Chains A and B, each alone.
Chain A
Amino acid sequence: MIDKQVKTLADAVAGVKDGATVLVAGFGAVGVADDLLEALHEQGARDLVIVANNAGNGDHGLARLLNSGRVRKVICSYPRSGDYSAFLNAYRAKTLELELVPQGTISERMRCHAAGLGGFFSPVSAGTKLADGKETREIDGRLHVFEKPLKGDIALLRADKADRWGNLTYIKSARNFNPVMAMAADLSVVQVNEMVELGSLDPEAVVTPSIFVDRVVVVGANP
């Protein structure tokens, strides 16, 4: 019988290796797997490459990993969001590498990996500093930039409901990067508010199908 539910947050992040690329879902503070990020801090992996839209808030979750010096590089579109002092301190101390990527390019690079493709040409960033050093091609008279696929060793996700197979539903704008990151990592781990019986999720409403999910841990809704 397939059962992807694990008992503890520690079980959920077990096995993450030093140097791993971690896909961290969320936009601002919404749809972020804060409990899994805290568990990853406890787990202790170092030299992490973080892929996220923003770069942590306050001193919890991703920001805590940054403050503890566990992160080697951040690939994101917009680090300056909320209280990003953890990122700012590391950035100014030059202990952290930043790869700034347009937001739609980050998500499409992950989908590209998920789809088994070797990259894509995009008009976004063509002729700008962010395209420096990248291959370009004119397609139908318009300059395009070659973007490589982006893969995670692990994705840390947050969803609303899961069943034991790992089918997922989300709440409102907390969906954001979760579905595309679920598809783009070798190991996709999700914290959910609730487990439900297999068959009780409306098949028309499942957003992330079970094939993209490896481990599920129940943390309950926010207090």
Chain B
Amino acid sequence: MKPLTREQMAWRAAQDLPEGAFVNLGIGIPTLAASYVPADREVIFHSENGILGLGAKPEPGMEDENLIDAGKNYTTLITGGVFVHHADAFLMIRGGHLDVSLLGAFEVSEAGDLANWTTEDPAFPPGVGGAMDLAVGAKEIRVIMDHTDKKGNPRILRHCSLPLTAAGCVKRIYTNLAVIDVTPHGLFVVEMVDGMTLEKLQAITEPELQLANSWQALAPPAAIAA
């Protein structure tokens, strides 16, 4: 059994972004998904700092000091892209204008509660940025995260142990082992990596998992960085 790499998780999430969608990618693994949108689809990426039509990382030497993404890294604008001011960028987020918000997470509960803004480390000030806005506003909230923490403890929990970003918002979870849908009838495993079983996955997931009737193998193409 081979868990997915960060790139492969991003690839998997990108396959679900529909043609014509407006999408916000969170900082970290979600940002990588931009590179894996199927070539025949036009997806427009939104950045909270006022970009609609976020492009790829610039070539070395082509960085523009006035053009950064939400992670404060240099970026580019695609043809057709525009700039808006902050209040409008968040109007797009909060007002349900984005089709998908793809976020990182520390924990997700079986009810779809999301915890991704603070680990409550007393040595550092908290920061929330746009996390709470992104978690309530988009038409669909999806999460990419490792299935367990570094010690192997579940991150999909009955109830989040960390402070919530938003309650009941997550609809789909992409982990390094599985794709799981959050539904009113519980958590459904729709894909698992080769060699994974429901029993093994259940052992590292706190709430009850059910296997979807139509479940499939989670198998990235060999070309995606392993």
Contacts and interface: CB of A to CB of B under 8 A. Distances in A.
Q: A and B bound?
A: yes
A102 B137 CA distance: 13
Interface residues of B, number: 40
A117 to B, nearest CB: 13
Contacts of B72: 27-30, 81-82
A31 B77 CA distance: 17
A100 interface: yes
B97 interface: no
A124 interface: yes
A91 B47 CA distance: 29
A79 B127 contact: yes
Contact of B65 (A107, A175, A178, A222): A222
Interface in B86-137: 86-87, 89-91, 93-94, 123-133, 136-137
Contacts of B211: none
Contact of A100 (B126, B130, B164): B126
Query: Of residues A29, A30, A87, A88, which shows the largest number of chain B Cβ atoms within 10 Å of its Cβ?
Result: A30
Contact of A180 (B85, B128, B136): B85
A110 B87 contact: yes
Query: Of residues B66, B84, B85, B93, which shows the largest number of chain A Cβ atoms within 10 Å of its Cβ?
Result: B85
A180 B77 CA distance: 22
B90 A78 contact: no
A28 B129 CA distance: 11
A78 B83 contact: no
A139 B90 CA distance: 20
Given A124-B136, A172-B77, A102 B131 contact: yes
A105 B66 contact: no
A128 B165 contact: yes
A140 B204 CA distance: 37
Interface of A: 27-31, 53, 77-82, 87-88, 91-92, 98, 100-105, 107-108, 110-111, 122-130, 170-180, 207, 222
Given A127-B167, A177-B85, 4 more contacts: A102-B128, A102-B132, A123-B137, A175-B83
24 contacts: A27-B68, A28-B49, A30-B66, A30-B72, A79-B127, A81-B72, A82-B72, A88-B124, A88-B125, A100-B125, A101-B128, A103-B48, A104-B90, A104-B91, A104-B93, A105-B132, A107-B87, A172-B83, A173-B47, A173-B50, A173-B67, A176-B49, A176-B86, A178-B85
